[in-house]
Amino acid sequence: MKQLKIINVVGARPNFIKIAPIIEACKATKAITPILIHTGQHYSRKMSDLFFHQLGIPEPDINLGIGSASHAVQTAEIMKSFEPVLLKHKPDAAIVVGDVNSTIACALVTVKLGIKLVHVEAGLRSFDRSMPEEINRTLTDRISDLLFCTEKSAVNNLISEGVPEAKIFLVGNVMIDTLNKNRLRSQKSKIFNKLSLNGDNFAVLTLHRPSNVDDHNALGRILDALEIIQNDMLIVFPVHPRTLGNFTNTLKTRLRSMSRLIMCEPLGYLDFLKLLCKAKLVLTDSGGVQEETTVLNVPCLTLRDNTERPVTLEMGTNRLVGSDTKAIVKAYHLLMNTKAPRPRLPPLWDGKASNRIVKILLDRI
């Protein structure tokens, strides 16, 4: 069997979580040579080192070091830097994951050079074109040769868009591969000591979408709800300094005046996973966190009006609440006063998605 050379692209921290099990499964076959490219789209030396070490990912073979910029500039710079990499290594295929700017930028370069393109986490749709991620994932799907889906709704979306079924594979969720592998390890984390947490009477909050963190009216409504929730429990809020930097002085003052809101720097994967495992409630606008709480059976309020992961609403504990104060508080009280449903795992969310992906790569590339 020919030794396949496959380039794997990461650009932001959620990509690390998705690519780690794929690289591990590729190496286990001894039939695939994986090459790891970090575009540097979201880059912090401290956080990147932490994620790579904790997830057992080898150091990137190449770091493009692009950094932050506008969507257009960042996408263009990634394309300019990625093309020479493909021309030098001449891979059999390139794998892109998720829906960040690195995904679509590297996808376009790959296809234009006649190299096979593989999209992991394909077919997800929020049907909200105001989200840059929706544009990225939709366009990437249109030009990919192989499309690996996490849930049945994604398969249905692709078929309804006219994508040939021969390209589409329901394989499960590689993020859950990583979660299952590290769930026990995460319990050794010392994050509770660092944050002076005792017991499980706390919520975890994550915010990063522009519709929440750049819209100060929306953020104000969310803070109104948090003021009420903090009367019942502590709220742990890992916040990126750049996100905090976007807030007005009034909002910063208000955040810091909330006596039971614990703000901290972004956390490593194992620290954050331990918090998720032990939390009584999660409030988030992250797609990945919706999936993780589904598997962990932790109540989740998604601070958005839509989700590209409907299986978390159908089978998990996830509820869409938007940024309306009354809606958030109403859903919070309902969740806290309702017995959690029996855990139900979406089909193929069994920790073996990466093995299925690699088997298909060997069959089809």
The catalytic site residues sit at 208
Instruction: Give the pair of three-digit tokens for residue 67.
Output: 């950094």
Looking up tokens 């030009």 gives 143
d(CA 321, CA 304): 6
CB-CB contact of 72 with 96 (8 Å): no
Q: Establish how many alpha carbons lie within 13 A of residue 258's alpha carbon, considering only the half-sphere containing its beta carbon.
A: 25
Instruction: Give the pair of three-digit tokens for residue 49.
Output: 């080192």
Instruction: Give the pair of three-digit tokens for residue 45.
Output: 């030396």
Residue 90 CA, distance from chain mean position: 29
d(CA 97, CA 113): 19
CB-CB contact of 248 with 355 (8 Å): no
| Torsion angle (degrees, nearest 10) of CA 73, 78, 80, 82 | 180
Residue type, 92: D
Surface-to-core class of residue 45, CB atoms within 10 Å of its CB (0-12 exposed, 13-18 middle, 19+ buried): exposed
Residue type, 62: I
Rounded to 5°, angle at Cα 59 from 56 and 64: 135
Question: Which residues are CB-neighbours of 158 under 8 A, at least 6 positions away?
Answer: 122, 123, 141, 147, 149, 167, 168
Nearest Cα to 60, choosing from 31, 28, 113, 102?
102
d(CA 1, CA 71): 41
Surface-to-core class of residue 33, CB atoms within 10 Å of its CB (0-12 exposed, 13-18 middle, 19+ buried): middle
Looking up tokens 């591969």 gives 177
